[in-house]
Amino acid sequence: MRILFLTPYPPGRAPSQRFRFEQYLEILVAHGFQYRLAPFIDEATWRILYQPGQALQKALGILGGFVRRVGHLLAAPAYDFIFIHREAAPLGPPVLEWLLAKVLRKKIIYDFDDAIWLPNTSEVNKAAASLKFHHKVAYICRWAYKNSCGNVYLASYAQQFSSHVIVNPTTIDTVHLHNKVRNQLAPGPLVIGWTGTHSTLKYLLPLVPVIAQLEAEGHNFEFRIISNHAPVFDQPLHSLRFVPWQKDTEITDLLTFHIGLMPLEDDLWAKGKCAFKALQYMALGVPALVSPVGMNTEVVQDGYNGYICSETHEWLQRLRQLLTDAAHRQSLGNAARKTIEQRYSVQANTPNFIELFS
């Protein structure tokens, strides 16, 4: 059986690709599948895609992507399944998906891990927003052989258009990647941490006064942010340290955390989030403090493997508690790791993933 993966980005670059299907590729081979990865964006365009300016180079990169997609379309008859992550092309109506499903009669596995039917275009590329055709998601769900959705909220959307819907959570490879666990009892400076892309830095803004209050109370800690862009806050924070995200040091950097943060706004876009930050923290034995939004409340069990915080005083209370109680951090961290291994690991989810291709 042969699978053609139509992906937005080059392999190994985007977290959604890495943690939703790329880490299953060797497993697919072991189960007798052959595959080809076919990205829309090339490496050169990826490097500038979320940088301001360079409109001409970006436009040429997008044009090149459409040319490549024509070649992928011509190659599609040789494959048994076409796995489409998010969309076959970033702009325009779902012409490619229609041709694959209705003309070539291919079995499409349609995979998405965000509420991508809602407008949420990057600020640096907002000029392209009118060309996104967000409503195409409904059509692709309808044409798909199976829909692979990151959580129950996304699945409920897909079920409006198809009965062939599988909840396929974003998972963590606890054997080959997130295979170390934070020792919360080891001596050293305490770190409250957050990781994410520039587009999600905004969710930290309500917690800036909380961090400032902890500083004022004399707690000794570092507030470490790992991202592709340095944060800019109106209120100065003496504990703040920015660490540029790097794939090669991703796990080592995350292991410096004692506490992981995942605040979210309670809106429709956030409901589609797949708790990825919390999953990463928890896999490393780091208790997560999360907002009660979307999948967060499924992954984090309050008081068992982390805490769910709604109000400012709750964030402050739980951070105080965890900064001063290493044994409690260790207990939560152990339970967090166990939760990931049992429910959100590659190993636990492999039968569910393989089922997509049956």
Nearby residues of 95 by Cβ (< 8 Å), 6 or more positions away:
89
Domains 2-168 and 190-343 share a fold: yes
Ranges assigned E (strand) in the chain: 2-7, 34-39, 81-85, 107-112, 146-149, 165-167, 190-195, 221-227, 240-244, 259-262, 288-290, 306-308
Please say whether the beta carbons of 217 and 208 come within 8 A: no
- Please name the residues in contact with 325: beta carbons below 8 A apart, sequence gap of 6 or more: none
At the topology level, CATH places domain 190-343 in Rossmann fold (3.40.50)
How would residue 199 be classed by pLDDT, with cut points 50, 70 and 90? confident
Per-residue pLDDT tens digits for 221-246: 999 999 999 999 999 999 999 999 99
- What one-character DSSP code corresponds to residue 180? -
Q: Which of 350, 358, 356 is nearest to 84 (CA)?
A: 356
Cα separation values, 18 from 9, 43, 85, Å: 10, 16, 11
**Among residues 89, 288, 270, which one has the least CA distance to residue 172?**
288
Q: Facing residues of 259 across strands?
A: 192
pLDDT given at position 357: 98
**Residue extents of the structural domains in the chain:** 2-168, 190-343
pLDDT band at 273; cut points 50, 70, 90: very high
Architecture of 2-168 per CATH? 3-Layer(aba) Sandwich (3.40)
Ramachandran area for residue 286 (φ above 0: left; ψ -120 to 50: alpha; else beta)? beta
Taking the model in full, what pTM does it have? 0.92
Residue 151 has pLDDT above 80, yes or no: yes
